[in-house]
Amino acid sequence: GQQVMQIPQYQHVQEGEDFTTYCNSSTTLSNIQWYKQRPGGHPVFLIQLVKSGEVKKQKRLTFQFGEAKKNSSLHITATQTTDVGTYFCAVTNAGGTSYGKLTFGQGTILTVHP
Partner 1 sequence: EAQVTQNPRYLITVTGKKLTVTCSQNMNHEYMSWYRQDPGLGLRQIYYSMNVEVTDKGDVPEGYKVSRKEKRNFPLILESPSPNQTSLYFCASSSREWGEQYFGPGTRLTVT
Q: Give one word for 28, left, alpha or beta, with left for phi > 0 and alpha for psi -120 to 50.
A: beta
CA distance 92 to 4: 10
Binding residue for partner 1 (CB under 8 A) from 19, 22, 35, 65? 35
Q: Which residues neighbour 53 within 8 Å (Cβ) at sequence distance 6 or greater?
A: 64, 65, 66, 67
CA distance 89 to 106: 8
Instruction: Output 39 or 114, the one with its CB closest to partner 1.
Output: 39
Instruction: Output 6 or 71, the one with its CB closest to partner 1.
Output: 6
**Residue 45 within binding range of partner 1, rule CB under 8 A:** yes
Pairing status of strand 44-49 against strand 29-37: antiparallel
Q: Which of these segments, 11-19, 44-52, 53-61, 72-80, binds partner 1 (CB under 8 A)?
A: 44-52
Site string for partner 1, 54-73 (x = CB under 8 A): --------------------
Q: Which of these segments, 13-21, 25-33, 55-63, 64-72, binds partner 1 (CB under 8 A)?
A: 25-33
